[in-house]
Amino acid sequence: MQDLLNNKIIIDMKNIMIRISIAFTILTTMILLGCGDNGPTAQEKTEALLVSAQWKNPVVTVDRIDQSTLYQNFKIQFGHNTYTSFCGEPLWPTSCTWIFVDENATTLKLDGKLEIQISELTETNLELIFQNDNTTFTSGRSMSIKGENKFRLKK
């Protein structure tokens, strides 16, 4: 009788150990899956869209007044923390560096100075807004107007 009781205790202990092992395995798996990669960050997503094409065909307003003729041939191509532009001077140097100002990737800082807000960024549209505090009128294409500059670009 004692042997039967001892065997039952051993079997019960084995069942308890198996259940604890299964529960531990399930819990560990859930924790590991919860700590996995949550996908690209906002900065990675924004950068991927920025560098995906050359942005062109600008519609430019300064303080809500159309100034597109000043930048009719403007184009910009973003790379990883750099960009090149065409027909954008003096506001847009031919080449420049940029960084994100915030984790949400809604603001760029060019050459550590000018902050530019990304107000829209989709697969086909890019809208950039910044405050220009200088007016420059010189010969040729080097012109800019003081005020809130909004550049709406397409791929």
Any idea where the domains of the chain sit in the sequence? Answer: 1-36, 42-154
What does the pLDDT read at residue 29?
61
**46 CB-side CA count, 13 A:** 23
CA distance 18 to 16: 5
The CATH code of domain 42-154 reads 2.40.128.280
Total count of residues recorded for the chain: 155
Q: Which of 14-23, 26-35, 44-53, 116-125 has the lowest mean pLDDT?
A: 26-35
Give the C-alpha separation, 74 to 60, whole Å: 10
Percent of the chain with pLDDT over 70: 79
- Say how many CA atoms lie within 13 Å of 108 toward its Cβ: 23
Cα 59 to Cα 69: distance, rounded to the nearest angstrom: 9
Please tell me the predicted confidence (pLDDT) of residue 141. Answer: 46
pLDDT digits (tens, 9 = 90+) for 83-122: 999 999 888 999 999 999 999 999 999 999 999 999 999 9
